[in-house]
Amino acid sequence: MNQPKIKRRVGKYEVGRTIGEGTFAKVKFARNSETGEPVALKILDKEKVLKHKMAEQIKWEIATMKLVKHLNVVRLHEVSLYCETKPLFLIFLFW
């Protein structure tokens, strides 16, 4: 009864409800269908990023997040392959 509603699938992730929104992204709850692990799927709004000339900063942030492993910093698991026509997905540990 309390299972989250699955609306779509991104690779191995079953995507559910929106859990937050930032300046350049929408964050959705998702679940790894292979392991059952809950994750936060961050969907970057590429048009907004390009409009505000933030592409380099976002790339730098992604590179930094890949390196950081700290108890107080949310862990970046995976980044979808960059493609001009598709949204960019970032998969984080669900906090």
Ligand X SMILES: Nc1ncnc2c1ncn2[C@@H]1O[C@H](COP(=O)(O)OP(=O)(O)OP(=O)(O)O)[C@@H](O)[C@H]1O
Q: Please tell me the count of residues contacting ligand X according to CB under 6 A.
A: 15
Specify the stretch interacting with ligand X by CB under 6 A; choose among 14-22, 46-54, 64-72, 77-85. 14-22
The residue (of 6 and 26) whose beta carbon lies closer to ligand X is 26
How many Cα atoms within 13 Å fall on the side-chain side of residue 86?
Answer: 10
The structure tokens listed for 95 are 């906090």
DSSP at 50: H
* Ligand-binding site membership of 59 (annotated): no
Single out the residue of 43, 46, 47 nearest to residue 7, CA to CA.
43
Please state the closest distance from residue 9 (CB atom) to ligand X, in A. Answer: 19
- Give the annotated binding-site residues for ATP: 42
